[in-house]
Structure 1
Amino acid sequence: MKRQESNRLPLAFWTMELAYGLAMCLSIARYFAIRFYTQMHTQSILINGAVGILEQVSFVFVGLFSGLVIDRYARKSVMVVANLLIALFGWLPVLFASTREFFVMILIVDLILSGIALFGNGAVPGYKKYLLKKEWLVRADGISTMITSGALLFGITLSYGGFLFYHLAITWFFIADSVTTFVLALILLRLPKDSLTQGEKPAALTSVTQVVGEIKESFRLFAKNPFIVYYTASVSLGNGGSAIVMALIFVLAARVGSLSTMWLPAIVVGIAMMISGALFSWLAKRIKTMVLIVIADVGVALCIFLLPILSSVTALTVLIALYFILSSLSTSSYVTLRIRETPEALQGRFRSIIVQVSSISEVLIVLLASFLGSLFHSLVVSFAIGSVSTLIGLLIFLYGKWRGRFTFTDLASDSQ
């Protein structure tokens, strides 16, 4: 049942989170294996930046359509079908392992898998809101962050050890990802089925004209919600800064030390995010949400600016840990607010618009930062753009709240 008298989070929530955590381990291992493979074959800032934003490129093409699908069908069904398709397409690189086009093919397959994942991952917030009471969302997000962090830690370790030390072929990472994603789909089948009421459920899509009309209607509803508008503008720029870090971190690692000496920063990332998950649940009860966002975002901007200036692996490790703790606190604050402030029937469409706008912004920011970094032969220039982008995103959100353009109930009030 959706509502329970007990204060315990329902078993379905734990089952979904742990199953996604298992699959995420191998998905992250595949992602980092691709990045290692790219860095080993080219040290170009521009190429590494382009490969680092493949996920965002896929979102640009399917973002809006995914929201229409998610809000028309049971979120559980969308998650199951999406993960089955990922399990199916994940085997494609094996067919091209001995061809000259192999590198291009793994990038194309990664693009496809990222696009399909948008449907499955996009259905999770709506399904989570179906399962949980409003006052459970902060605690649930803290748990989700910790599980995601654990998956990140194990995924990086698997990729690092398997690819760099045991020299496993990159196709094995795609195969392992497919297998665990198939297991995830089977587990999701056993979860309670959610459904929208007839009053909430949009009409079935039967023509291109209707799809266009629905997209226009989604934007109209989106524009009427000032909180979501300011939220989107803010996170689109803030995510651009984080995207630069993730796109160019391997170039930075190779310049500070080498990929084979970066095991410590890689492991620290997962540990830092696990700390952040527990920290968010604790801080959200004690600090005003706006104050928490400001502290986190200013800290993130400072960390991004300082990263390329460092010259030792130890210093890089410490700063990366701080960066991921602050970044996770910021993300958890924003996302928890968004899930709570978005009506259940609009979760998919609003999230798809946010992802669409944010992805376009991230692609442009990362390409600009990568291009200027290549032009001036300086990672400092690239990372400085990310720092400035993060601060501008924060200022937009602060301006909207200060001018009374939107309001929200502080997360602390729902965490008691």
Structure 2
Amino acid sequence: MRQSADMRTRPASLLRQRKFALLWAGQSASVFGTEITFVAVPLTAVLVLDATPMEAGVLRALETVPFLLFGLFVGVLLDRRARRSVMIVADVVRAAALAWIPIAYALDVLTIAQLFVVVFVLGVMTVFFDLAYQSYLPGLVGRDRLTEANGKLQLSASGAQVAGPGAAGLLIAWLGAPVALAVDAMTYVISFFTVARLPADEVAKAQPDVPAASVGAAIREGISVLWRHPLLRWCTTAAVIINLFSAVVMSLFFLFLVQEVGIGAAQVGLVVAAGSVGALAGSMMVGRLSRWFGDGPAIIVSMALSTLGYLLVALAPAKSSAAFAVAALGSFIALFGVPVFNVLVVSLRQISTPDELLGRVNATARTCIWGAASAGALLGGAFASVAGLREAVLVGAAGTFLAALVLLFSPVRAVRDLHATATGHGPAAEPRTGPTDQEQTP
């Protein structure tokens, strides 16, 4: 009887709430389109515009550089104005920018320089949209349901990683790479219409009797808030570490599998697909892992799983019948842990941060993480050129273990419930010393 009563009081799924369902539908369409762009843009550069290796590298860099250039400033802006309007403008600009590629291709005027501009504009608008929606979400669903909301959004993203590349391949074979990008442009139009129907949010209210700070001071305040919060500080530090070293692995991933492990292009595609399936499975298991271990230990377990996966990839035997199986299993395990960490840590940031600081705190964390990934990619290439592919991948994979180790000796391991801790109703967020800070397993 008690179980039945608990089931009756359990809140209905967020997808039954019109506001969240609109945001989820628009984001699901958008991330699916993004997977098409992930394949179609580089193929347009290589197959249509005969891009050189340097031009292909620049194209990839332009996707992430906007976060490093503008992330902190966008965070300040989003703490001083309504977030929904920023999301709407970002969708309109992204749709228009992507639509230019098939139009220019049809007019026979498309150049690699135009592709650079489009990718850079997309990157800038993605900075605005991602930070705005992460700051808008707590007011839409309530802070007590953020883990569920982020879990559903992450599940859509992981599902798109599974289905998107295959759909992109079919569209490119049917329409050609430039024209296939029109499909992604339409997904931003869908996102625009769904976001436009969401309730308008108010500008975050600053604390009374506190004068408005300069942009520089506002950026420093966001950095300070993130650094002073023990859980956010440790989780962000771990994210920087794992992104630094995993970028070493991923920057060499395809080259390593083909040249060092010796598997063919078709098998490489299946290894990537195994990783996408792993990410989807991880998205579906976030809730269960949190219930089994508690939120803090689940974050540490996710880090440990990613490390195990990267090590399996690095240890895949060269030119062996087992090489493909080991690499595919490693890819699956490595990406299984990623959505678990993302859902729980993003939810922690949203729960713990006052609304008037959300934009800056999100921007600070994302800028540090993207910066680490960019540095890791450069380090991977440099180290491989000196020591060799396998050695570089092994160093990167082993380095990811430091992230789990950092969290294991941090207050994160004692957290059972992120929401209770962040709101002051759970274990203290400040570090504790002595043997009493070890939580019991359920």
Cα contact 2:74–2:359 (8 A) shared by 1: yes
The CA deviation at 1:194 is 1.8
Q: Which moved more, 1:109-118 or 1:209-218?
A: 209-218
The CA deviation at 1:356 is 1.5
What's 2:28 paired with? 21
The CA deviation at 1:180 is 1.4
What's 1:284 paired with? 290
SS of alignment partner, residue 127 of structure 2: helix
The CA deviation at 1:254 is 4.1
Are 1:33 and 2:40 matched, yes or no?
Answer: yes
Aligned mate of 2:141, from 113, 127, 132: 132
RMSD between aligned alpha carbons?
3.5
What's 2:186 paired with? 179
Cα contact 2:84–2:201 (8 A) shared by 1: yes
CA shift digits 1:213-244 (9 cap, x unpaired): 32233334334333333222221111223434
Aligned mate of 1:394, from 390, 404, 411: 404
SS of alignment partner, residue 135 of structure 2: helix
Report the Cα distance in structure 2 between the residues aligned to 1:93 and 1:179, rounded to whole angstroms: 13
User: What is the TM-score of this pair, normalised by structure 2?
Assistant: 0.79
Report the Cα distance in structure 2 between the residues aligned to 1:245 and 1:319, rounded to whole angstroms: 12
User: What is the TM-score of this pair, normalised by structure 1?
Assistant: 0.83
Q: What is the 5 A alignment of 1:149-188?
A: 149-163=158-172, 166=173, 168-188=175-195
Q: Which structure would you say has the larger Rg?
A: 2
Q: What is the 5 A alignment of 1:189-200?
A: 189-196=196-203, 198-199=205-206
The CA deviation at 1:145 is 2.0
What's 1:356 paired with? 367
Aligned mate of 1:317, from 328, 336, 353: 328
Q: Quickly say closer, same or farther: Cα 1:326–1:408, change in 2 above 3 A.
A: closer
Are 1:68 and 2:72 matched, yes or no?
Answer: no
Aligned mate of 1:300, from 300, 306, 319: 306
What's 2:97 paired with? 89
CA shift digits 1:321-368 (9 cap, x unpaired): 222112222222322222222222221110111111222221111101
Aligned mate of 1:239, from 235, 243, 256: 243
CA shift digits 1:140-190 (9 cap, x unpaired): 232222211112222111223344xx2753322432222211221111100
Cα contact 1:54–1:111 (8 A) shared by 2: yes
In percent, how many aligned pairs have the same letter? 19
Point out where structure 2 has 5 or more consecutive residues left out of the alignment: 1-9, 422-442
SS of alignment partner, residue 195 of structure 1: coil
What's 1:343 paired with? 354
Are 1:122 and 2:131 matched, yes or no?
Answer: yes
Cα contact 2:282–2:336 (8 A) shared by 1: yes
Report the Cα distance in structure 2 between the residues aligned to 1:385 and 1:303, rounded to whole angstroms: 14
Q: Quickly say closer, same or farther: Cα 1:313–1:266, change in 2 above 3 A.
A: same
Q: Quickly say closer, same or farther: Cα 1:199–1:157, change in 2 above 3 A.
A: same
Q: Which moved more, 1:13-22 or 1:139-148?
A: 139-148
Amino acid at match of 1:327: V
Cα contact 1:48–1:251 (8 A) shared by 2: no
Cα contact 1:53–1:366 (8 A) shared by 2: no
Report the Cα distance in structure 1 between the residues aligned to 2:400 and 2:87, rounded to whole angstroms: 31
Report the Cα distance in structure 2 between the residues aligned to 1:200 and 1:13, rounded to whole angstroms: 28
Q: Quickly say closer, same or farther: Cα 1:246–1:21, change in 2 above 3 A.
A: farther
Point out where structure 1 has 5 or more consecutive residues left out of the alignment: none
Cα contact 2:150–2:347 (8 A) shared by 1: yes
Report the Cα distance in structure 2 between the residues aligned to 1:181 and 1:42, rounded to whole angstroms: 27
Amino acid at match of 2:403: G
The CA deviation at 1:53 is 4.7
Cα contact 2:150–2:343 (8 A) shared by 1: yes
Are 1:384 and 2:399 matched, yes or no?
Answer: no
Report the Cα distance in structure 2 between the residues aligned to 1:301 and 1:124, rounded to whole angstroms: 30
Q: Quickly say closer, same or farther: Cα 1:296–1:50, change in 2 above 3 A.
A: farther
Q: Quickly say closer, same or farther: Cα 1:384–1:200, change in 2 above 3 A.
A: farther
CA shift digits 1:70-103 (9 cap, x unpaired): 222222111111111111222343466557952x
SS of alignment partner, residue 400 of structure 2: helix
Are 1:147 and 2:151 matched, yes or no?
Answer: no
User: Greater relative contact order (Cα 8 A, min sep 6): structure 1 or 2?
Assistant: 1
The CA deviation at 1:369 is 0.7
